[in-house]
Structure 1
Amino acid sequence: MHPPRLRRRLLTSLVALAAFASLSSGLAQGAPPARADDPARLAAPAAAAAVTFADEFDGPAGSAVDAGKWQTETGDNVNNHERQYYTAGNRNAALDGQGHLVITARRENPANYQCWYGRCEYTSARLNTAGRFTTTYGHVETRMKIPRGQGMWPAFWMLGNDIGTAGWPASGEIDVMENVGFEPSTVHGTIHGPGYSGSGGIGAGYSLPGGQAFADAFHTFAVDWSPNSISWSVDGTVYQRRTPADLGGRQWVFDKPFFIILNLAVGGYWPGDPDGSTAFPQQLVVDYVRVSTDSAQPGTGGPITGVGGKCVDVAGANPANGTPVQLYDCNGTAAQRWTVGGDGTIRALGKCLDVASGGTADGTAVQLWDCNGTPAQQWATPAARDIVNPQANKCLDAAGGSSANGTRLQIWTCTGAANQKWTVTR
């Protein structure tokens, strides 16, 4: 565990939101990647259904970012005792003419900028999409090459769009990727909300094998965000998933619009200040930022197929509450036409796929029931082809691994086995 540390929590003047401060998370380091054969393997990020935001950073070298997508924050950040001054325009954030955004941290003060500690020693840049773009759920991804060196602190993260009225941490925060220079091989993903903010933030670290440094190459960082479920991945490997079950009864504040932030901080309580070993300038090179709707989005309805090519079926096409859900030969009837909704539900015959009595134990049957908005009817459908009930943190499963007609469906600990793999057609 890291010692407690303060983190960046201030939106500066261009965002026109109230200042706020916090302690940062003490996170576990070096979580190993899930293996393909690991029974505890988590679901992979969602496949893109529709791109809702994309910046490929194409443009002439030296040009500023697209102001229709990003605004540039300015000023310092006393809350974390960071050392940089964030500048406007293209001075510290510019396109390189090769399809990248380059955020540059320099040891300089060309305009006599004043920081909380006196005359600023460094400049850098921080960008956000507030007022331009927000998303509720989806696959949020960036490919970037991070800087290296003591005191460097690159981050790709999101804040609840109600930060101005709700304040932090009630607004919620999703840290997709953070790195501190003294951990060249490790990045962190965290959520913050009321009662689990600052040093109580919930998250984990991911480390590259063999002591590789993230600064040596481009890597892809993403979250797959669905109702009641957020998963983090590095280069397609999911290393943690968080659900309301992780909060110990505290409020889940991640079912509303969030905006995106990119920044490169210098110094602060968590990374510590640069020292004589830190070379400047340092650069955060961003290849792209993309947001797409995840696979839990509305569709016209279609079959869900599983083991043996059989379809998820409402027994006897009966719409009554409590009707078993089973495997059966695909026949194109309404009993096999399922709609995966943006609200996290999976529906057929006007009813919802439901975990009986809201159970969380292995072997709890699934059934058809009136849609009621409870966690028993919430499902995440990521591209790894698992169908997960986040409340139980378990997968939709064909009992006994059977593909016979009439095989009852249930929830079970996710194993990656064929009887837990499903193809959703919309």
Structure 2
Amino acid sequence: MPSARSSRRPLFTAVTALAVAAAALGLGATAPTGAAPPAERAAVLQPAAEAAAVTFSDDFDGAAGLPADGARWQIETGDNVSNHERQYYTAGNRNAALDGQGHLVITARKENPGNYQCWYGRCEYTSARLNTAGKFTTRYGHVEARMKVPRGQGMWPAFWMLGNDLGQVGWPDSGEIDVMENVGFEPSTVHGTLHGPGYSGSGGIGAGYTLPGGQAFADAFHTFAVDWSPGKITWSVDGTVYQTRTPADLGGRTWVFDKPFFLILNLAVGGYWPGDPDGSTAFPQQLVVDHVRVTTADSPTTGGPITGIAGKCVDVAAANSANGTPVQLYDCNGTGAQKWTVGADGTIRALGKCLDVTSAGTADGTPIQLWDCNGSGAQQWTANAARDIVNLGSGTCLDATGNSSANGTRLQIWTCGGGANQKWTVTR
């Protein structure tokens, strides 16, 4: 566990929420379904038989010198006074680029070609930091990276996550999950840590894992992972589990890890915990990333229908798996467009995509579509004994537009009112 560390917050002052790119399809006005109060939202949808489904994957394939995929990653720039780190994180591909052999290479250099200014004066080092904020978040699942770390005093590579509500609640209330951190003075050891309200910085909850026989993590690639489920996070190195944390480990403090988080990769130089580089530290140093992958519990080859008003089935229009495809009512026909699985992460899936509220809207009448699974509240659903299916992001109910059961009736969200067009039966 870190002994003298402060905030690991992003350099940005705010984190943007993931926004769905496609524009909402136009719909006519729809009458409310009733004036009854919202039904009790008690029972979480239970998962079907589970198998691994990939929700995020980057193997860093591409020509040497290309930057990381901008559809998956954004690059942070600037220094970090919070930890008294010494590097300046640069834009572009100078310090983070593909090597043409299926790797992302984050390079720390002892240089300052741009006359960058840091908290201590003229910066002495450059490096890179990337995150998926605004592009991908996940709540639960198996999160892993296969990497080879740098070596030397003052090196501080990390693969970690921050709560997607960082911009609203700040750090450490947002929560932080450190999948892997290594400091150069411990070449054989990595750390996994939780930070949250009342247990942050040097008070984080975590443990270390040490390679046997004096091996150094910089000598070879290793896979660092967490397996994350409601109220439980387990860390492993190369498949060997070395710690599990639950709310019971927090001594009554708040567990803030049952919500979406985004991913971060970075290579810091110096700071309170690792200490600064010294005469023994050779530059440049590299964090070489072979892949980053997130999988979540799902059953993509099985599933069953979700039926609603007049016994019609929830259906993906034209069995089209493209992002933005409308979700509608249609005669039940047993096709894959009507086979829905309920993931352990609260998602509802068909054709490898998630049931999604367009543009993460919260207003009555916002249409439902199919979209890449991204862990946002727009894709989180609960069910109750009254057979409502409630979207967590908006607090509203899955609804058949206009109280209609006609084929092609678009599904939307609407204030829960108890009408027949908001009653659903999930078949497993």
Query: Is the CA contact (8 Å cut-off) linking 1:185 and 1:213 kept in structure 2?
Result: yes
* 2:62 corresponding residue in structure 1: 59
In structure 1, distance between residues paired with 2:258 and 2:13? 27
Q: 1:92 aligns with which of 91, 95, 106?
A: 95
Change over 3 Å in CA distance of 1:297–1:223 after alignment to 2: farther
1:170 paired residue number? 173
1:191 maps to 194
After TM superposition, the structure 1 = structure 2 runs for residues 366-377 of structure 1, keeping only pairs within 5 Å, are: none
The amino acid of 1:9's aligned partner reads: R
**Counterparts of 1:297 and 1:341, CA distance in 2:** 10
Provide the rounded CA distance (Å) in 2 between the counterparts of 1:154 and 1:187. Answer: 10
Contact 1:297 1:341 in 2 (8 A): no
Q: Distance in 2 between matches of 1:265 and 1:146?
A: 12
Work out the CA distance in 1 between the residues paired with 2:298 and 2:282: 43
Going from structure 1 to structure 2, the CA distance change for 1:341 and 1:131 (only over 3 Å counts) comes to closer
- Decide whether aligned partners of structure 1 residues 254 and 236 sit closer, same or farther in structure 2, where only a CA change above 3 A counts: same
Q: How does 1:23-42 map to 2 (within 5 A)?
A: none
**Residue of structure 1 in register with 2:207 after alignment:** 204
Query: What is the match of residue 83 of structure 1?
Result: 86
The alpha carbon displacement at 1:248 in A equals 1.3
Q: Determine the structure 2 residue equivalent to 1:288.
A: 291
Tell me how far 1:197 sits from its aligned partner.
1.2
CA distance in 2, matches of 1:115, 1:63: 27
Q: Is 1:138 the equivalent of 2:144?
A: no
TM-score by length of 2: 0.62
Answer yes or no: is 1:110 the counterpart of 2:127: no
Equivalent residue for 1:260? Answer: 263
Cα offset for 1:247?
Answer: 1.1
Which whole-Å CA distance do the structure 2 matches of 1:299 and 1:164 have between them? 38
- Counterpart residue number, 1:220: 223
Q: Note the C-alpha offset of 1:284.
A: 0.2
1:152 aligns with 155
Cα distance in 2, alignment partners of residues 279 and 229 from structure 1: 40
Residue type of the partner of 2:8?
Answer: R
**CA–CA separation in structure 1 for the residues paired with 2:200 and 2:111:** 33
Q: 2: distance between equivalents of 1:2 and 1:191?
A: 11
Shift of 1:250: 1.3
Letter in 2 for 1:217: A
Structure 1: distance between partners of 2:343 and 2:62 = 37
Query: Corresponding residue for 1:5?
Result: 5
Matched, 1:232 2:249: no
The one of the two structures with greater contact order (alpha-carbon pairs below 8 A, sep at least 6) is 2
Determine the C-alpha separation between the residues in 2 that align with 1:168 and 1:118. 26
| Counterpart pick for 1:127 among 125, 130, 134 | 130
Q: Which amino acid aligns with 2:184?
A: G
Q: Which amino acid aligns with 1:215?
A: A
Post-superposition offset of 1:6 = 3.0
| Alignment deviations for residues 287-325 of structure 1 (CA, whole Å, 9 cap, x no partner) | 000000036999749xxxxxxxxxxxxxxxxxxxxxxxx
Contact 2:57 2:294 in 1 (8 A): yes
* Code of the aligned partner of 1:5: R
Contact 2:161 2:264 in 1 (8 A): yes
Q: 1:3 to 1:192 in 2, by over 3 A?
A: closer
Deviation (angstroms), 1:13? 6.3
Contact 1:10 / 1:79 at 8 angstroms: preserved in 2? no
Match status 1:182 vs 2:181: no
Alignment correspondent of 1:101: 104
* Cα separation, partners in 2 of 1:112 and 1:69, compared to 1, 3 Å: same
Residue 310 of structure 1 corresponds to none
**CA 1:114–1:224: 2 relative to 1, 3 Å:** same
* Deviation at residue 14 of structure 1 after TM alignment: 8.6
Q: Say if 2:15 and 2:164, in contact at 8 Å, map to a contact too.
A: no
Q: CA deviation at 1:11?
A: 2.6
Residue 279 of structure 1 corresponds to which residue in structure 2? Answer: 282
**Equivalent residue letter for 2:86:** R
Unaligned runs of 5+ in 2: 18-49, 305-340, 347-383, 386-427
**Distance change >3 Å, CA 211–CA 163, structure 1 → 2:** same
CA deviation after TM superposition for structure 1 residue 3, in Å? 3.8
Is the 8 Å Cα contact of residues 15 and 167 (structure 2) preserved in structure 1? no
SS in 1 for 2:218: helix
Contact 2:14 2:167 in 1 (8 A): no
| 8 Å Cα contact 1:297/1:342 also seen in 2 | no
**SS in structure 1 of the partner of residue 259 of structure 2:** coil
Over the matched positions of the two proteins, sequence identity in percent amounts to 81
Per the alignment, do residues 252 and 158 of structure 1 end up closer, same or farther by CA in structure 2, a change over 3 Å counting? same
Q: Is the 8 A contact 1:232 1:240 kept in 2?
A: yes
Shift of 1:200: 1.4
Change (3 A) 1:173 1:9: same
Kept in 2: contact 1:297–1:340 (CA 8 A): no
The answer to whether the Cα contact below 8 Å between 2:89 and 2:129 also exists between their aligned partners in 1 is yes
5+ unaligned residues in a row in structure 1: which ranges? 18-46, 302-338, 345-370, 373-425
Work out the CA distance in 2 between the residues paired with 1:69 and 1:48.
24
Secondary structure (helix, strand or coil) at the match of 1:8 reads: coil
284-293 or 47-56, larger mean C-alpha shift: 47-56
Match of 2:53 among 34, 39, 50: 50
The aligned amino acid for 2:5 is R
Q: 1:2 to 1:64 in 2, by over 3 A?
A: closer
8 Å CA contact 2:140, 2:345 repeated in 1 = no
Q: If the length of structure 1 is used for normalisation, what is the TM-score?
A: 0.62
